[in-house]
Each structure stands twice: as structure tokens, then as C-alpha cells.
Structure 1
Amino acid sequence: MNRTVQKSLFFIVKSVRTSPSNFAGKLYAWRGLSTTPDPHTKVCIVGGGPAGFYTAQHIIKGRPDVQVDVYERLPVPFGLVRFGVAPDHPEVKNVINTFTQTAQHERCRFLGNVNVGKDVSVDELRQVYHAVVLSYGAEGNRSLGVPGEHLSGVYSAKDFVGWYNGLPYNRELQPDLSHDTAVILGQGNVAVDVARILLAPLDMLKKTDITQAALDALANSQVRRVLIVGRRGPMQVACTIKELREMVNLPGTQPDMLTDDFHGVNEALKDLPRPRKRLTELMLKALKEQAVKGAHRKWGFRFLRSPLDVLPSADGTRAAAIRLALNKLEGSGDEARAVPTGEVEEVPCGVIISSIGYKSLPIDSAVPFDPRKAIIPNTMGRVQETTGLYCSGWVKRGPTGVIATTMNDSFDTGRVLLQDLDSGAIDLSEARLGAQGIAPLLEKRGVRPVSFSDWEKISGEEVRRGEAQGKPREKMLDVQEMLSVAWS
């Protein structure tokens, strides 16, 4: 047992002996902490997003003797469901109801405003929990790796999405939308979401939980044309048909695509799997109808193109264009590779948004991490060579898939952890303190956790502010304001 945890145990014993009532008032202010030790198996989950809550749900349902504590560095739960799902997709956010049921379970506790890796180490958690699951997602950006990508006017899709969805870390982004053309690099669902938000009618967005700051910026936006660029062809596009259909049907817009990009696609249709075939047919239909709409806002895919460099303005201060390599495909289907032809083209644009993927980051030097794959090395969720340490979600498999993918992945990790509890691979003979052992560490370090009932105060205030503007909620952007409301 390390010295820090020994000190914590000494603090607990001394405090109980010298002033039981005073100690109880401080330590057990967290919802659900009892003044008497409980016999539960203690499991800790790091990350209050979909992976964290789905893992917690499966573990709680699997064994009646497990107490699950979910740690989250922000004062608010739900991760990318709150900060990543497009504001005009409220139906996707309904999963929050399921997460809320889990958080309110008598054997689950939410501990927000605790930054694991900074406020408390993973080793300290492992000392007081029987098992620790890392489910903290992917907060990093994948780099384009081209000259000029750090110029003003170039943004990551992760930051741009965080800005319009109210992620506190992105509140100061203030994207410059005073340009006619925006180029989005990447053709997945996030890229299409960003294009749709850039071009959507304001009346449509005003009814969502998009932030007021983003609404104001979009009201003054001069962006009238959005190009969604991918290195491969139409039959490898990464978005889903639902996202594409929303783009095709977006009021006040029309497609702007190049016939040459679809050379040979009609002939290949018959051999495509049904989902891919429907997606491709919808693009072909949009290509055919694009000339008859006459809308003043345009969007379009640009295929077989890869970024070479971002070209600066005359004064060298910001992006003015992007130079693209023209590609050809070698192979077919999902395995087709993009190979440069040697030809290039330049596209004038003042806004460039990189949507080539998120990236997990190491959380603690004590946790193994594969920097090339940007994941925690694991076998079915078991962190390699580390008994009692697990991972789920994007930090386990990489930033791919939708919420349902994360659900299945997290259930798999939960299942493996339960197997280890049942088989004796995790030693349950020694009682663990769980959150009771972390409380004095956090108090000493000046960290006050936010409980789920505290979060409900924040949520209630956001809903109240939203109702005043005809919106489902108006998100708070400042962490200190969140804490003030939570502890009021």
C-alpha cells in the first residue's frame, strides 16, 4: 500500500476517533456515502460519457454486490452525448434517460469535477477499488500533417463541434465565418454534421440546444458553400445514409458535386452491398438534381482528393486556400487505396475544418499506452499485464462507430470484468474503501466533487434558461458557473 493511501486511512481512523460527527459531515457529503462501511465490491469507472455509463449499467445488473463510482473531470455527465451529438439530433440524446437511471441506482455514484490523472492518480484509485475501468474517450485531435495547418482559419472538427455544443474547453474558439467557402476534410458523419450546421436555416437551429454564442456567430456567417473532401471515391464515403439524406433535404441548399467524380459508379452499383448501394444511389440522385434547385447555399462532396498544404493569405496570417492532391483508386470496395496521380488543384477558402478523427491521450504515466494506435493496449478490455485494470469505449478500440457500437463494446468490457470477479481473478478477500478512501485525498487537494443531484441543479437551471428562449436548454459554458449553481 503506498504512503498516500496509508495517510488517507490514518486520516479516516483519526478523524472518526477524535470527531466522528464533524468527519461524517465532511466526508459523507457525497450522495450515497454511508457513515458505516459497506460490504460491496468496489468498482471505479473513469469517464462519465457513454462508455462509462454503459459499462456501469452492465456491471450493476450483473452482480448485486457491486458498488460503482463514476468519476468525470467536468461537473456535468454524458460526454459526447452532450457535447458531440448534433444539436438538431435530439432523438439521439434520448439515451441520456438510460444513463440517468444508471446514475440514480442505489449502487451507483457520480463524482464530477474530479480530474483523474491530476486530482487523483490511477494508482491511488487502484489502492481503494477492487477494479478500475478507464472509459475516458478521445479528447485529442489527429493532425493533418501538412504545412499551414496551424494558420488562423483552420479548425479541428472536434473543437468546432465542441464550440457549438457548449464544451467549456472550446468556448473561446470564435471561428471566423466571414468567408464564402468552407472546406471540410473528411467525409464521415461528423464532417456532414458540421456542414449541415454551417448551412442550416437559423429558424431550424433556434429550436435546438445549440449555444447562443454559436447561434449569434451563424447568424452573421458569410459561408455560402461547403465542400466535403475525401481521399477516396463515392463508394468509400464514410457517412451514413441518414446523415446524407438530411444534407440532401436541407432547406435552402442544393448539392454542388462534380460529374467526373462519379465516373464508373453507375456500372458498379449492382455489385454493392445493399446499405452501400442505397447510399451511392442517393448521391447519384443528388448529382442529377443539383442543377434544378437554384438555392443560394451549396454543399458538395469532393472525392479523390487529399490535402497537401494550407496556403496563407498575402500577409501570411491566415488560411486563404488549400492545395489538394488528385488521387486515383487502386483496388475496389472498402479496401481501395488512394494513390496520388501527380496532379494538384487549389481551392480558395477562408474556413478549413479537419474532420479526420479524434485521438485518445495517455491519462497517467502508470497506465500502458500505445502512442501509434492511440489506445490503451488491452485484451478484450483487460489492460495488458495489469490485473484489475480495464478499459472500454474509444480508449479501448479507437474513435470509431456510433453510440450503439460503444454500448456493445462497453457491455463486453463489463462482461469480462464480471467474469474476473466470479472466477477469483480479482481478489475480493480484502475490503476496499472505494470513494471513502478518495474523499480525504480530494479534500486535502482542494477538490470538491459534484454529485448527480448537484448536476440535476445545473440541468434544471439550463432548462429554465432554455425555456425562456424557446429552446430545450441553454447550456452553461463556464465551469465555475456550473459549480456555483451545483452547490447553491
Structure 2
Amino acid sequence: MTRIAVVGAGPSGVFTAAALLDRPDVLVDVYDRSPTPFGLVRYGVAPDHLKIKSVTRVLSRTLSDPRVRFLGNVEIGKDVRLDTLRGRYAAVVVAVGAPGTRRLAIPGEDLPGHVPAGDLVDWYNGRPGARYRPAERRRVAVIGAGNVALDIARILLRGGRGLSHTDVPEHVLRDLDARPTHEVHMLVRRGPADTRFTPAELAEFESLPDLDLRVDPAVLPTDDPGPSVADRALAARLAIFRRWSCAPRGAGRSLTIRFHSPPAAFRGAGRVEAVALPGPTLLPVDLAVSAIGFRGRPLPGLPFDDATATVPHEKGRVAPGLYVTGWIKRGPTGVIGANKACAQETAETLLADVPPDDNDDHDPAPTTGLRVVTWPGWLGIDRAETALGATHGRNRTTIHELDRLVRIGTATGDRLP
């Protein structure tokens, strides 16, 4: 059998595993540093976007396939070297995503009270080891012009009560209600035509209760865009911005989109107290969140282009027996479904390179001494989260403590099947 390792159990890694299974002699081991699968779907998608999160059912079909093994709680580069995997498998596919964040490169960026979007997203989605520590956030600045910025603004404005139908951890729900957000200022570097917000996500704010939506009408163009698909999306955004530019209702909370407002600096005595904007304007805030994009990070044993924050490759091939897929391959772009075509290209390249192997030798997984969470272990975690949710009248509650996840996931024994 031809044994292949995939590093990363998010959509790109699992889609690649599914494509590799098209060849009947292939067996796939899917490694992940987390004890839980699904990567960005579990820890990156906004918790109130339940339809998007339901893609886990598709991913589960691959991970539960008899020819696939999930090996969670194994970090490649820390627990196991990439070179070790390459020596044990016919090929290795790296699908580690883009866990880093872009920097603003402005004064005060490292002050407490400014956090990258990923830190806040990790916290409200219950990723173990999340670095955000809750503090006052009555007035929040979110820097960014994409859907991640919208997600953060919406989650903060929903509060714990508005997320009670989701799987957000209980301690997060309590904190969101204990430290409610009353004002969100979304700081956009350029104008309305340069935003990447999708109309559907913008429109979600119109269903939130007791919320004023504010846009300065002076910054909105008077001419409608043309008939192309991109222009229709822009026209839909502009229609929403025009609705928001009407006189506010005087609600208790507000979302203000400030165009042409790149932050020049964060100000404060020991922590962020204001954002310096053009004008000059000093915007008082308790918390500033930068949502300006993600970056790939180097992995020992893998070449890395720092300019693009990706791995150099040719149709997924990095070197003989070594491949990449997903955001580490092409950069942090595209929706979850975009990973399918990317995964298919990498799988086709790999399968053309690696001949069938009839040698059914020993298990190649270098996991001796590690606390490995396999697929049955994940199913145990899944049951535990469902049961925990039921105690709070919810369908599910995410368990966020790493030790607890590993303990549940290895309760049936650490040995691989």
C-alpha cells in the first residue's frame, strides 16, 4: 500500500486526503496539532454561521473512511520532525494554513489593548491556548475591510445572549454579557468601492436589535456601478451603505463604518486608549482589533518565501515526496470551497509522481510516547461537547481546555488502531 501523510486536518488537508483516496492503493494519515479535527471550520468560522460550520459533516466522511487515520494532538516540527515523516511515508502533504497575522507597522501596535483578529477569534471559538485576555471593550475599533472584520464586530455586538444558540464556550458567553460592547468603529483605509465585505454579511447587522448603523453619506458615490458581477456586488454594498447613511434611530448601541480612516497610531498610557486617525482625529477606544489579513509561517524542513508568506511549489510539488496545499500554498484567499480545486491539483501532482506500492510493511506513524487522539477519540470529544451543551439547554458547547480535550480523546487508550 502507498502510505501518505497529510499535515493539517482543516478543509484543505481533508479535501486533499479525499482526492488521494481516488487511487485504491492509498492509505492516508492526517496529522493535526490540535486534538480536534476541522481546523479553520472549528476555530475560524464565526460561531453564528451555522450553515458554514455544517461542512464538518462532509469532512467527517473522509476522516472516518477506513483508509484514513486521524492523528490529533501531534504537532509536526515540535513532537515529530517533518524530515521524520518524509522518511517514513511515500509522500507528505503540508496543509498548515496561514496561522500568522499581518502587522500594521504603526506606533503603539504592541500596547496592551490592541489584538490581532486571530487572537480574538480563537478566544470566542474556544481554541485551547487562546492569547486574548478579556478586558473592558465598551468602545471597540476594528481595522479591516473584509468579512473577518465584520464577524468580529457582529460577535461583540451580539453579546452572549445573542450567541446562546451557538457552540461558544460558556465562559465566553458570560464574559460577552459582563463586558458588553456599545460602540464598534470599523476603520477602513480606502473608500466604499475598495471593501471586500459581502452584502449578505453586511445585511446581517440589520437584524440585530437596538443597533444604529452609521455611514457618512458624503463618502458614498452618487453613480451606480456597471453591470458586471463585481459591479453588482458593489452596487449591493452601496445600497446597504446608503440605508445606513440615513439618520440613526438613537439606539443604545452602534456600528459606524469610517471610510478613508487608516489608523496612524495607537495612543494610551500603558494600554490603548485611542486611535489616531486622519483629520487629525483621536478616536477613544477600549479595544482595537486589527483584521488586515493572515500570513503563513515557516515550518522547519520546508522552504518559505517571506515576501509572499507561502511555500514555493509547482502545482503543489515542493520537492520529491513533499507537497503543499491550501493557504500555505496559495496564500490566505478564497472561501472554504476554494480549497477543493487547490487540493485536487496537489493530489493529481502527487499521484502522478508516486507509483503504486504493493509493500504492506510496518505502521509508519512516529507517535511512540505521544498522547495521540484518533478518530474514535474525537467522537468521544464530540459526545462530551454535545452532552455539555445539553446541560445549558444548547445543542453543543465547545470544550476549550487542552488537557480536558486530550483526556477525553485518549480515554479509550493511546494506541493507534
Give secondary structure in 2 for the equivalent of 1:218: helix
Gaps of 5+ in 1: 1-39, 326-342
CA contact (8 A) 1:133 1:391 kept: yes
CA distance in 2, matches of 1:99, 1:91: 14
- Correspondence for 1:391 among 313, 324, 331: 324
Give secondary structure in 1 for the equivalent of 2:76: coil
CA contact (8 A) 1:130 1:432 kept: no
Give secondary structure in 1 for the equivalent of 2:222: helix
Per-residue deviation, 1:218: 0.9
Is 1:253 matched with 2:211?
Answer: yes
Amino acid at match of 2:331: G
1:32-47 matched pairs, under 5 angstroms: 40-47=1-8
CA distance in 1, matches of 2:380, 2:2: 30
CA contact (8 A) 2:212 2:253 kept: yes
- Provide the residue aligned with 2:276 in structure 1: 323
CA distance in 2, matches of 1:302, 1:432: 62
1:458-469 matched pairs, under 5 angstroms: 458-469=381-392
Per-residue deviation, 1:76: 0.5
- Provide the residue aligned with 2:365 in structure 1: 438
Amino acid at match of 2:103: S
CA distance in 2, matches of 1:201, 1:307: 26
CA contact (8 A) 1:207 1:470 kept: no
Q: Deviations over 1:409-434 (max 9, x none)?
A: 2222223223x2xxxx3355684857
CA distance in 2, matches of 1:428, 1:407: 24
1:52-451 matched pairs, under 5 angstroms: 52-60=13-21, 62-170=22-130, 173-176=132-135, 178-200=136-158, 202-262=160-220, 265-270=221-226, 273-288=231-246, 290-291=247-248, 293-312=249-268, 316-325=269-278, 343-364=279-300, 366-383=301-318, 386-418=319-351, 420=352, 425-428=353-356, 431=359, 436-439=363-366, 442-443=367-368, 446-451=369-374
CA distance in 1, matches of 2:334, 2:210: 30
CA contact (8 A) 2:129 2:402 kept: no
Amino acid at match of 1:107: R
Amino acid at match of 1:460: R
Calculate percent identity across the aligned residue pairs: 35
Higher helix fraction (1 or 2): 1
Per-residue deviation, 1:220: 1.4
CA distance in 1, matches of 2:95, 2:29: 12
Aligned residues: 409
Distance 1:126 1:257, change over 3 A: same
CA contact (8 A) 1:253 1:295 kept: yes
- Provide the residue aligned with 2:376 in structure 1: 453
Q: Deviations over 1:326-354 (max 9, x none)?
A: xxxxxxxxxxxxxxxxx432211111001
Higher deviation after alignment, 466-475 or 390-399: 466-475
Per-residue deviation, 1:235: 1.1
CA contact (8 A) 2:25 2:356 kept: no
Give secondary structure in 1 for the equivalent of 2:245: helix
CA contact (8 A) 2:159 2:177 kept: no
Structure 2 length normalisation: TM-score?
A: 0.94
CA contact (8 A) 2:3 2:27 kept: yes
Distance 1:101 1:179, change over 3 A: closer
CA distance in 1, matches of 2:321, 2:244: 52
Amino acid at match of 1:109: R
Distance 1:458 1:429, change over 3 A: closer
Per-residue deviation, 1:401: 1.6
CA RMSD of aligned residues (A): 1.7
Distance 1:219 1:387, change over 3 A: same
Per-residue deviation, 1:241: 1.1
CA contact (8 A) 2:2 2:358 kept: no
CA contact (8 A) 1:192 1:247 kept: no
CA distance in 1, matches of 2:227, 2:180: 42
CA distance in 2, matches of 1:404, 1:427: 29
Per-residue deviation, 1:380: 1.8
- Provide the residue aligned with 1:6 in structure 2: none
Q: Deviations over 1:188-242 (max 9, x none)?
A: 1110010001111543211111111211111112421101111111011111111
Which of structures 1 and 2 has the bigger CA Rg?
Answer: 1
CA contact (8 A) 1:210 1:474 kept: yes
Per-residue deviation, 1:274: 1.4
Amino acid at match of 1:345: T
Gaps of 5+ in 2: 412-417
Q: Deviations over 1:98-143 (max 9, x none)?
A: 1111011111110111111111111111111111110011111211
